[in-house]
Amino acid sequence: MMNKYESVIIINPSVEEEGMKTLIQKFTDLIDKDGKVEKVEELGKKRLAYEVKKNKEGYYVVFYFDANPQAIAELERNYRITDEVIKFIVVRAE
């Protein structure tokens, strides 16, 4: 049973472009293992509302995808252990 999800991650702005692409690919591959990525939107560098892990800005990336509910736990676990990800959220899209 696949549900639609949206996930926003904020990546540390000090990560260079090559590292950014690698990270996005890593998470895309992870989602594709148990689901299907529909779209990845890179919103670029934005100022944060408040400081997160000593960063005043972050690089925003939005993933739109279909996945099984149990795949979300694994995705969030990977976000947590990836040092470059300073903030993330996964929501079920209507």
Per the confidence metrics, is the pTM higher than 0.95? no
Strands 35-52 vs 55-67: parallel, antiparallel or unpaired: antiparallel
Q: Cα–Cα distance between 2 and 59 in angstroms, integer?
A: 28
Q: Where are the chain's structural domains?
A: 3-92
Give the pLDDT band (50/70/90) at residue 94: confident
pLDDT at 83 over 90: yes
pLDDT band at 28 (very low <50, low <70, confident <90, very high): very high
Task: Burial-class residue 39 by CB neighbours within 10 Å (0-12, 13-18, 19+).
Answer: exposed
- Report CA torsion sign: 57, 14, 84, 68: positive
Provide the 3-class DSSP secondary structure of residue 30. helix
- Gap between the Cα atoms of 13 and 37, Å rounded: 24
User: Domain 3-92: what homologous superfamily?
Assistant: Ribosomal protein S6/Translation elongation factor EF1B (3.30.70.60)
Q: Which pLDDT belongs to residue 12?
A: 96
